[in-house]
Amino acid sequence: MSLRGVRNATAVSAVEAPSAPVALPALVAALGVEHVAVPLSAVAAVVAAPPAVPLPAAPAYLRGVVVWQGQLVPLLDVAALVDLEAPPAGGEAVVLRQGEAELAVPDVESIPPAPDAAALPVHRPAVADAFGRPARAADGAPVRLLDVAALFAIAELTAVLG
Condensed to tens digits (0 to 9), the pLDDT of residues 37-46 reads 778 888 888 7
pTM of the model: 0.66
List strands edge to edge, sheet with 101-106. 43-48, 92-98, 101-106, 71-76, 62-68
- How far apart, in whole angstroms, are the C-alpha atoms of residue 135 and residue 52? 32
- The more confident residue out of 154 and 150 is 150
At residue 123, the pLDDT reads 37
Residue 78: which of 106, 51, 97 has the closest Cα? 106
Give the domains, in start order, of the chain with CATH numbers.
2-161 (2.40.50.180)
- The more confident residue out of 56 and 161 is 56
